[in-house]
């Protein structure tokens, strides 16, 4: 079913759109009908949006806009509801928030106070939180604990849900309470308007001992239904987070005329487990960790000086890199609109502009139209000078034509033509009419007025003209051998918090190096690139001239918008100037208008600032992670960042496994953010840019991801939006206000900087794990090879880490060119399966399924194989664990070996240590191995000698009996005469001999070897036993062609070795009996 969008008064029409082009002085909280209407305000009406959005309960959208009084009238004329209007700080009023006005001792006092508050907050949040273990969604290819799923916890053989797609069901705890967030897609109706839809969705959950029911809101974008959701996370009362949520979908019934009757019929209902969102450790910082280094906001000189000083202090750990492209400059032509100060620019206005930059002489020009009172005078233009030396001014004097009474008759057009034709002054200035007018009005005579570039930054600090941009490179090994991480901030000038985040991060990394273990590991093993201020010119303009400046200062406007009143609307949005899926490729979210705050520039990568960022990544191919730091709104996002309209056709989405990596890594990063003061970035504000914010054609994160993808080294690029919503714990949502671009530094600004510097640390931790990852993923399907499935089976996979699963169903061996498990609806649903989970491999006949997983680091799992029997009895497959009650160990929570460990525990082969722990990551010692093998023999019914001879002189202790029993049976011989070496670790090759010797003793036969695919065992003295173990399926190798004979065996791996050996016995008919 489909439906159209309601009429939108913000949509463009054929009338000329109004652009006041005056300095914005106010912040308006506004409310519009939809996200489409919000985008129209920005794209077609040049309304400067703050890019903080918030959906309210009826589907309408709230946002913030920087406006003039004239633009408030325009908004009201468009039907936009204006909720509140406040004055913006002027540069003079904001001066106390910048570096130099705040003492470092004030920051130290703030830290001391906050440390006490953090301890109190930690206790409060611990009291709020209840355990809600991350659950395996019926559709997500989840990681971590999901790899060790009990079969009952994975999806059923056939997923028979018809209309409901549960995308997310998350709970979290922040500083003000417990919250629930849920997203569910309806397949019954895709109408964008909630009132026009033929369905309604609601949820129920338990809070404070009662059942709460809420209707979910419709989220639509660009004329397309996306999903239902709670508009904001809802506050859960009573201190207990719900473990499950009931979701119900109702059909709204219509009469014969198609009108809604007010009655409903239940279509479908599901019970959904919730997951803990972005879990984090304790609030606060490790003992001795240094932080809080930046006492105030920074202009571009401050941020450059900060990283320069860090380089001087830590030359052995840093490089200061001058980027190749200078900015176009903190510079403007000197300008004047010659019009009465209380008049409205129009037909009589003469715009005059210097040909030289203001600082290069333009500011020394004076213009006047002089009324001489002489009758019958011809129009004339002369050049004069006044003053001398540095105070000399060039004067452009116009004497207008007059009639017989001496009344001025020259029009603006005539004066402009005379100026531009005058050889005396046309090498000094140019003149033009106001905003395309005919210039038919008679010019005023207002006396002398000075031209000005209107730049107010102090000249002793802020140089005029093009400037260099610098980057700090941090790392113990800055030679490209380590994984690179690129953090860059202040593409948008008015985002004052962002360079503080960058400088704070850099300073933490260097000041804590050698004392803080995590910091030291990060610097030793990563190559870190930080640009604190990408947009130097715009940054200083925002600081000293126009607080709300977003773009750089480059003017591409023709005369229509080149007048002095338009000066605050010039510049290119650097985060729309990149070259992948840009406006110039037909994608949405940028503008061709030179006065739009999302102006993409005249062409891709036209701006030196964007060229610099691309240069960093291209020159350093080891960069695999990036963070584009922005404010505000509390968003955390990645590719795709743009779509085409109509149809909302996105740039290609990452594979499902890659998107799972984005989500899982994001939770690590967001958990770090929360550890400062309990700020939790909402699940609904985390995800691909287009799914949680808007379309942003030509953004930098997309450029790095897609450009790298083509070259086989994608850059996992995130975009922060610091300044999360502020919660109070009051009302239904606990929400109060957005964080803002210009928060008071000592209150909100410092806290935002600290928590998002934590977030950069989190990204570095993710990159470190990537750098050190040499382990292939382990994947597991939800189906078995010993079950006859009735009619069909839907195959899903779980993995111990995010992975892309390649598979075949025709019996051939899969490769990286084989099909992959994708998100549901990726090629069938209008949303492309946005935020959805895995689409099953649907089988309707007996099929041999072959597959392997690949993680984002490129580690490939060995090809695995399973025959799924449908309407056909499978052959008997021996399983030693059938009917064995598994023993649960508190430290065995997941991983590929978990089931096998619990099985041998249930059989009594291992009982764990005195605390009941299994210690899966520990190496197996030779004395422990003897006890494990002795218990395995007992399980198989072997009667062990009660009083064996003492075979070794170095084996006293708990395991001595088992060692001597195995020696008497001939299973072990020791390392030399009388020496067992009980404390030495068991290697993989030795393990095979332990097990093969045991099996041959039990079976009373010599086992035959067959050639394996292992290429690294020829020199092993255990060669034959390794070949036997491989043939019997006891070992699968470390890769398809390597065994790793000399590697130590961990206790978790040993569990699988023993379990597979027991499978051999079970297949031979042995009855296995648990022992104690």
Gyration radius (Cα) of the chain, Å? 35
Tell me the CA end-to-end span of the chain in Å, nearest whole number.
64
DSSP states of 360-394: GTGGGEEEEE-----TTPPPEEEEEEES-GGG-EE
Q: To which H or E segment does residue 948 belong?
A: none
Encoded tokens for 647? 């149809």
Q: What angle do CA 97, 99, 101 make, to 5 degrees?
A: 65
Task: For helices 988-1003 and 926-939, give the axis angle rounded to 10 degrees.
Answer: 30
Q: Is 721 a catalytic residue?
A: yes
Residues 941, 1001: contact at Cβ < 8 Å?
no
What letter would DSSP give residue 748? I
- Selecting among 659, 682, 721, 1027, the annotated active-site residue is 721
- Residues forming beta bridges with residue 679, ordered by sequence position: none
Cβ-based neighbours of 890, under 8 Å, separated by 6 or more: 915, 916, 917
What letter would DSSP give residue 98? B
Tell me the C-alpha distance between 407 and 423, whole Å.
27
Task: Give the Å distances, CA to CA, from 59 to 44, 192, 221, 695.
Answer: 22, 10, 11, 19
- Residues forming beta bridges with residue 234, ordered by sequence position: 180
Tell me the C-alpha distance between 987 and 861, whole Å.
22
Tell me the C-alpha distance between 102 and 123, whole Å.
31
Name the H helices within 839-958: 898-906, 926-939
Of 79, 96, 73, 71, the C-alpha closest to 6 is 79
Tell me the C-alpha distance between 992 and 1032, whole Å.
11
Omega of the bond prior to 432 within 30 degrees of 0, cis? no
Helix (H, G, I), strand (E, B) or coil at 763: helix
Encoded tokens for 959? 């395991």
Tell me the C-alpha distance between 794 and 844, whole Å.
9
Name the H helices within 441-535: 497-511, 517-525
244-254 β-sheet, strand order:
210-215, 199-207, 244-254, 260-273
Encoded tokens for 734? 């606990």
Cβ-based neighbours of 306, under 8 Å, separated by 6 or more: 294, 298, 503, 506, 507, 532
Of 1035, 1031, 1032, the C-alpha closest to 1047 is 1035
CA 13 distance to own-chain centroid = 37
Q: Which residues are catalytic?
A: 721
């Amino acid at each position: 079913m489909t439906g159209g969008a309601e009429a939108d008064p913000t949509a463009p029409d054929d009338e000329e759109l109004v652009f006041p082009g005056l300095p914005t002085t106010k912040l308006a909280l506004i409310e519009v009908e939809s996200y489409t209407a919000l985008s129209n305000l920005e794209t077609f009406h040049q309304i400067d949006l703050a890019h903080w959005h918030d959906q309210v309960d009826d589907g309408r959208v709230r946002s913030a806009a920087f406006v003039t009084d004239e633009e408030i009238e325009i908004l009201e004329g468009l039907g936009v509801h204006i909720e509140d209007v406040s004055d913006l700080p002027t540069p003079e009023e904001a001066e106390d928030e910048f570096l130099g006005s705040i003492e470092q001792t004030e920051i130290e006092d703030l830290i001391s106070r906050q440390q006490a508050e953090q301890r109190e907050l930690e206790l409060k949040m611990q009291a709020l939180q209840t355990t809600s273990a991350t659950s395996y969604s019926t559709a997500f290819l989840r990681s971590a604990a999901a790899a060790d799923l009990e079969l009952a916890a994975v999806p059923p053989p056939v997923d028979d849900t018809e209309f409901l797609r549960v995308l997310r069901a998350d709970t979290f705890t922040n500083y003000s309470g417990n919250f629930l967030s849920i997203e569910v897609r309806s397949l019954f109706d895709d109408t964008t308007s909630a009132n026009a839809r033929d369905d309604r969705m609601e949820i129920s959950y338990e809070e404070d001992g009662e059942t709460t029911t809420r209707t979910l809101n419709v989220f639509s974008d660009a004329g397309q239904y996306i999903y239902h959701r709670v508009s904001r996370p809802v506050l859960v009362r009573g201190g207990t987070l719900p473990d499950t949520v009931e979701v119900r979908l109702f059909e709204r019934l219509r009469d014969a005329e198609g009108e809604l009757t007010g009655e409903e019929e239940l279509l479908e209902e599901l019970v959904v487990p919730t997951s803990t969102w972005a879990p984090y450790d304790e609030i606060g910082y490790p003992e001795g960790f240094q932080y809080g280094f930046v006492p105030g906001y920074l202009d571009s000189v401050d941020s450059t000086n900060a990283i320069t000083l860090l380089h001087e202090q830590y030359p052995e750990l840093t490089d200061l890199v001058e980027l190749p492209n200078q900015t176009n400059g903190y510079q403007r032509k000197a300008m004047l609109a010659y019009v009465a100060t209380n008049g409205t620019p129009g037909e009589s206005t003469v715009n005059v502009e210097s040909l030289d930059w203001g600082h290069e002489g333009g500011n020394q020009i004076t213009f006047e139209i002089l009324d001489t009172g002489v009758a019958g005078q011809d129009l004339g233009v002369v050049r004069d000078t006044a003053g001398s030396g540095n105070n000399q001014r060039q004067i452009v004097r116009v004497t207008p034509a007059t009639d017989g009474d001496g009344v001025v008759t020259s029009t603006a057009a005539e004066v402009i033509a005379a100026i531009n034709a005058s050889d005396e002054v046309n090498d000094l200035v140019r003149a033009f009419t106001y905003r395309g007018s005919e210039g038919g009005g008679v010019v005023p005579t207002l006396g002398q007025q000075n031209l000005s570039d209107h730049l107010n930054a102090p000249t002793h600090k802020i140089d005029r003209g093009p400037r260099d941009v610098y980057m700090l490179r941090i790392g113990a090994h800055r030679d490209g051998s380590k994984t690179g991480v690129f953090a860059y901030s202040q593409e948008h000038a008015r985002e004052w918090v962002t360079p503080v985040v960058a400088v704070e991060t850099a300073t933490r990394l260097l000041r804590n190096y050698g004392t803080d273990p995590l910091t030291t590991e990060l610097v030793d093993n990563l190559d870190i690139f930080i640009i604190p201020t990408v947009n130097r010119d715009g940054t200083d303009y925002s600081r000293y001239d126009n607080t709300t400046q977003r773009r750089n200062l480059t003017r591409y406007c023709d005369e229509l918008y080149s007048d002095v009143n338009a000066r605050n609307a010039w510049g290119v949005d650097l985060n729309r100037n990149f070259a992948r899926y840009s406006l110039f490729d037909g994608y949405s979210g940028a503008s061709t208008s030179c006065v739009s705050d999302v102006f993409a520039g005249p062409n891709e990568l036209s701006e030196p600032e964007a060229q610099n960022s691309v240069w960093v990544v291209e020159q350093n191919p080891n960069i695999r992670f990036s963070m584009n730091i922005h404010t505000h709104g509390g968003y955390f996002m990645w590719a795709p960042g743009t779509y085409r309209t109509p149809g909302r056709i996105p740039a290609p989405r990452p594979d499902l496994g890659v998107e799972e990596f984005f989500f899982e890594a994001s939770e690590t990063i967001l958990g770090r953010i929360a550890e400062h003061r309990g700020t939790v970035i909402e699940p609904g504000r985390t995800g691909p840019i287009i799914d949680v914010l808007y379309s942003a054609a030509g953004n930098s994160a997309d450029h790095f991801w897609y450009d790298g993808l083509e070259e086989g080294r994608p850059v996992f690029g995130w975009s922060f939006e610091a300044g999360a919503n502020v919660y109070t714990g009051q009302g239904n949502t606990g929400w109060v206000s957005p964080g803002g671009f210009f928060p008071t530094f000592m209150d909100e600004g410092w806290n935002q900087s600290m928590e998002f510097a934590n977030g950069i640390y989190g990204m570095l931790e993710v990159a470190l794990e990537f750098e050190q990852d040499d382990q292939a993923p382990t994947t597991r399907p939800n189906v078995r090879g010993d079950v006859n499935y009735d009619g069909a089976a839907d195959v899903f996979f779980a993995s111990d880490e995010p992975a892309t699963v390649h598979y075949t169903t025709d019996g051939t061996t899969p490769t990286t060119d084989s099909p992959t498990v994708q998100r549901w609806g990726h090629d069938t649903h209008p949303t492309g399966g946005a935020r959805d989970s895995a689409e099953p491999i649907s089988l309707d006949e007996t099929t041999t399924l072959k597959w392997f997983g690949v993680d984002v680091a490129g580690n490939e799992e060995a090809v695995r194989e399973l025959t799924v029997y449908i309407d056909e009895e499978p052959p008997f497959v021996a399983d030693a664990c059938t009917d064995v009650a598994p023993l649960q160990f508190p430290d065995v929570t997941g991983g590929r070996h978990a089931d096998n460990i619990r099985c041998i525990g249930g059989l009594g082969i291992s009982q764990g240590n005195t605390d009941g722990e299994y210690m899966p990551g520990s190496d197996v010692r030779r004395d422990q191995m003897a006890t494990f093998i002795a218990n395995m023999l007992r399980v198989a019914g072997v009667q062990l000698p009660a009083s064996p001879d003492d075979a070794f002189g170095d084996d006293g202790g708990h395991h001595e009996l088992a060692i001597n029993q195995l020696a008497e049976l001939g299973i072990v011989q020791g390392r030399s005469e009388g020496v067992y070496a009980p404390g030495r670790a068991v290697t993989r090759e030795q393990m095979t001999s332990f097990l093969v010797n045991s099996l041959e003793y039990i079976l009373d036969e010599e086992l035959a070897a067959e050639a394996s695919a292992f290429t690294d065992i020829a020199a092993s003295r255990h060669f034959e036993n390794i070949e036997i173990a491989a043939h019997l399926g006891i070992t699968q190798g470390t890769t398809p062609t390597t065994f790793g004979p000399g590697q130590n065996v961990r206790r978790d791996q040993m569990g699988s070795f023993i379990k597979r050996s027991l499978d051999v016995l079970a297949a031979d008919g042995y009855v296995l009996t648990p022992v104690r």
